[in-house]
């Protein structure tokens, strides 16, 4: 199973993050309008992502903590998103819906998102990815911390919750 180490942080200056990425030859995949529908499940999180670039059913487990956190992720590519969404809603019920504009970049095995989330504002995510077990968790955490520093992300900017949690529990946005 692939291992991700990721951080999510508030982003007051997305243009500075974008400039850093472009100045360091990041590969830009595009801007994706994504709607993530989260379903009620007993363990982890299950979401259906529908976008112009990324479309997948995604299950993941990760702790709610600030800073780099490991996440076990399973992705299943989806082509009939509306049909699957209806089926999962009927079987499980919808827990939350997150609507966002997402710029997607890559440098080697690290994926970057510059997000504007409807109802929440601007964020940046750094995801260090090990697809085949060849990169240690320590090395993935080091990658996240390197880019946190490069982007000027301080501990006070880090978030422990997912966008869905932030929307559902809007009085507690950290």
Residue 58: C-alpha distances to residues 48, 54, 69, 137, 147 (Å): 6, 11, 17, 21, 25
Residue 17: C-alpha distances to residues 23, 89, 116, 158, 169 (Å): 10, 36, 13, 15, 28
CA dist., res. 116 & res. 31, Å (int): 11
- For strand 45-50 and strand 121-130, is the pairing parallel, antiparallel, or unpaired? unpaired
Highest average pLDDT, of 41-45, 90-94, 159-163, comes from 90-94
**Residue ranges of domains in the chain, CATH in brackets:** 3-168 (2.40.320.10)
pLDDT above 90 for 121: yes
Q: Residue 122: pLDDT band by 50, 70, 90 thresholds?
A: very high
CA dist., res. 132 & res. 4, Å (int): 11
Give pLDDT, residue 24: 98
Q: pLDDT over 90 for what percent of the chain?
A: 79
Q: What is the pTM of this model?
A: 0.89
pLDDT above 90 for 160: no
The two tokens of residue 120 are 């929440």
CB of 38 closer than 8 Å to CB of 45: yes
- For strand 56-61 and strand 3-10, is the pairing parallel, antiparallel, or unpaired? unpaired
Beta-carbon contacts of residue 136 (< 8 Å; ≥ 6 apart): 130
């Amino acid at each position: 199973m692939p291992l991700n180490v990721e951080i999510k942080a508030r982003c007051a200056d997305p243009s500075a993050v974008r400039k850093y990425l472009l100045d360091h030859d990041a590969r830009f995949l595009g801007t994706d309008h994504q709607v993530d529908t989260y379903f009620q499940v007993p363990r982890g999180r299950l979401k259906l992502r529908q976008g112009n670039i990324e479309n997948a059913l995604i299950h993941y487990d990760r702790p709610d903590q600030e800073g780099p956190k490991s996440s076990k992720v399973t992705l299943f590519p989806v082509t009939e998103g509306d049909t699957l969404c209806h089926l999962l809603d009927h079987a499980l019920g919808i827990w939350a819906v997150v609507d966002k504009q997402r710029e997607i970049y890559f440098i080697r095995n690290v994926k970057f998102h510059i997000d504007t989330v409807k109802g929440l504002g601007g964020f940046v995510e750094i995801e260090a990815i090990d697809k085949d077990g060849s990169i240690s968790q320590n090395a993935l955490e080091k990658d996240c911390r390197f880019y946190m520093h490069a982007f000027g992300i301080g501990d006070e900017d880090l978030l422990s919750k997912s966008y869905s949690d932030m929307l559902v529990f809007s009085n507690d946005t950290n």
